[in-house]
Chains A and B, each alone.
Chain A
């Protein structure tokens, strides 16, 4: 009777053990399940080897190709592609060898099969050993056969047939517990394409971006980072975080490193959406400051081909970024590249804005063009420069650069003295002429100090 009372207790304990093991497995799987797109990107990047590095994953490596692949993963995840699609793309491009999680097909499948077979063999061995141990002559067998043998024999028979049945039941419970735990964890933790975790992601990122737009730099940086946690390829967050970091880098202890980080954001933004106008202006400015005038010019020429909002044109005109880049190119001996950049801007003004051209912007570009040509002191080019300056003043009679440049260049051109005087007078009448221009005219004796 005491033996009968002990058997259900052991079964209960085994059941508890099975449930505990199942729960542990399920929680382990649940912990690995990414919760946001950024988590998914990190997880995917960690699952693949950098194709050109030794022993580093895509997530760990900072070589250009690894950064580029991470950017591609970000875009694909945000586009709603599944992990399987990202894996397929990477394996298609770079081969199976970069996949840290081998497929279950072909020879590679042995990596999965062998450990399972080994575990099964080990468990079978242990099971056989226990079975042998238990099948030895039971203590007091003689007693059982002598007293009340018929009853005990019947019980013993039931126990013998019931033991394997209970074992099967326990194994079944354990398997069901593990499978159910895994399924529940995956269903609860995984976010498929088009699913939202809580609320509408687009709405939440839009709200965060709006808040960042009016926040102080440090707070804005944190808000942009939160957006990128939700949507890692968000071009607006990448562009504005990069620009914010670039602008504040000078005031930090490690300015060079911060600028490099900012440029990575700007590059990622362009990689994410090469038609996003704002980032072209930001990166052009950063490249200009770094001395990469050709890169800066390229960004602006790409911008000229985009349907940029008017505010971008206003920003360019106010900052005179295009003229500054053109001037730097000309100083580097790249006059043709400088003129190409200015002409590209002039064409864009004509094509995009039509009659609603910001006149001052067009006049400023023509003035810069004329100034650069005249600065060569090659008679033919000076003549072309003068024509460009005349057009600049005609387009923008109050543009300070058109007036000042034409006055200075006109000093060296015969029969232009009256016009020089008129230009200086018009310049002096401006309410807020640029200080650098005023100083230049004063130093040349054209304007009273």
Chain B
């Protein structure tokens, strides 16, 4: 075969392989949503609506649901009743049900609007209303709502992008609890 044709064929083959590789490559967006799961939870600390301090580190030994939201986002409004129901079920009053502390981190919102939002929609958990940008960056939040389930040891067990649903949250908690029990049994 002519050397030039041979070279052209080789180049064509390489290009074809590259097309196949890039076309079947895992989408970047999917990978972005999972990078924190399994890692130690980044810090969440700040002043709540009543001016008191809240720190995720103080919650070691308990499950925590960290919810990033904004009062102006529709999915956040839609998910709020689900969060309220989840918080009520896991408020620690029933020893048979694991206690889960919920904390909401408002992103780019006004404290006045947040107070009104919680007064109208319920929910008595701590809310970090302002200066939460660094927290959002540490958690890699790109769009609210996003929620993270944190284990009693302070690791991120699951991430939910978009509005949460009570049933799905219960499923996540069950699976995370089972995984944790398995790890503890092994160790």
Residues of A within 8 A of B (CB): 51-52, 64-65, 67-69, 71-72, 92-97, 107, 110, 267, 270-271, 274, 291-295, 297-299, 301-302, 304-305, 334, 337, 340, 344
Q: Is the CB of B53 within 8 A of A270?
A: no
Residues of chain A lying within 8 A (CB to CB) of residue B13: none
Interface flag for B49 (CB, 8 Å) = yes
With A298-B51, A301-B51 known to touch, is A95 a contact of B35 (CB < 8 Å)? yes
Residues of chain B lying within 8 A (CB to CB) of residue A334: 115
Residues of chain A lying within 8 A (CB to CB) of residue B46: 274
Question: Could you list some 6 contacts between A and B, CB below 8 A?
Answer: A68-B134, A271-B131, A274-B131, A291-B112, A298-B111, A305-B53
With A68-B134, A292-B110 known to touch, is A97 a contact of B53 (CB < 8 Å)? no
Interface flag for B137 (CB, 8 Å) = yes
Pick the contact of B137: A93, A301, A340 (CB < 8 A). Answer: A93
Q: Is the CB of A52 within 8 A of B50?
A: no
Q: Is the CB of B142 within 8 A of A94?
A: yes
Residues of chain A lying within 8 A (CB to CB) of residue B29: 97
Give residues 112-148 of B contacting A (CB, 8 Å).
112, 114-115, 129-131, 133-134, 136-143
With A94-B142, A304-B51 known to touch, is A293 a contact of B112 (CB < 8 Å)? yes
Q: Is the CB of B18 within 8 A of A294?
A: no
Interface flag for B1 (CB, 8 Å) = no
B15 CB → nearest A CB, Å: 10
Nearest opposing residue in chain B for A274, CB measure: B131
Nearest opposing residue in chain A for B140, CB measure: A93
Most chain A CB within a 10 A radius of its CB, from B28, B110, B130, B136: B130
Residues of chain A lying within 8 A (CB to CB) of residue B142: 51-52, 65, 94
Interface flag for B16 (CB, 8 Å) = no
Most chain A CB within a 10 A radius of its CB, from B28, B131, B138: B131
A160 CB → nearest B CB, Å: 24
With A51-B142, A95-B32, A340-B51 known to touch, is A68 a contact of B115 (CB < 8 Å)? no
Q: Is the CB of A65 within 8 A of B18?
A: no
Q: Is the CB of B47 within 8 A of A271?
A: no
CA A65 to CA B49, docked complex, whole Å:
22
- SS class of chain A's interface: helix, strand, loop or mixed? helix
Residues of chain A lying within 8 A (CB to CB) of residue B35: 92-93, 95
List of 8 A-B pairs having minimum Cβ-Cβ separation, nearest first: A301-B51, A68-B133, A97-B28, A64-B108, A95-B32, A93-B140, A294-B111, A294-B112
Most chain B CB within a 10 A radius of its CB, from A94, A110, A267, A298: A298
CA A65 to CA B144, docked complex, whole Å:
10
Beyond the given A69-B137, A305-B53, A337-B115, please list 17 additional residue pairs across the A-B interface where CB-CB is below 8 A.
A51-B32, A65-B107, A65-B136, A65-B137, A72-B133, A94-B32, A95-B140, A96-B31, A292-B110, A293-B112, A297-B51, A298-B129, A298-B130, A301-B47, A340-B50, A340-B51, A344-B51
Residues of chain B lying within 8 A (CB to CB) of residue A297: 51, 111
B58 CB → nearest A CB, Å: 16
Interface flag for B185 (CB, 8 Å) = no
Residues of chain B lying within 8 A (CB to CB) of residue A71: 133-134
Q: Is the CB of A68 within 8 A of B49?
A: no
CA A68 to CA B115, docked complex, whole Å:
23
Residues of chain A lying within 8 A (CB to CB) of residue B51: 297-298, 301-302, 304-305, 340, 344
Interface flag for B96 (CB, 8 Å) = no
A305 CB → nearest B CB, Å: 7
CA A370 to CA B136, docked complex, whole Å:
41
Interface flag for B97 (CB, 8 Å) = no
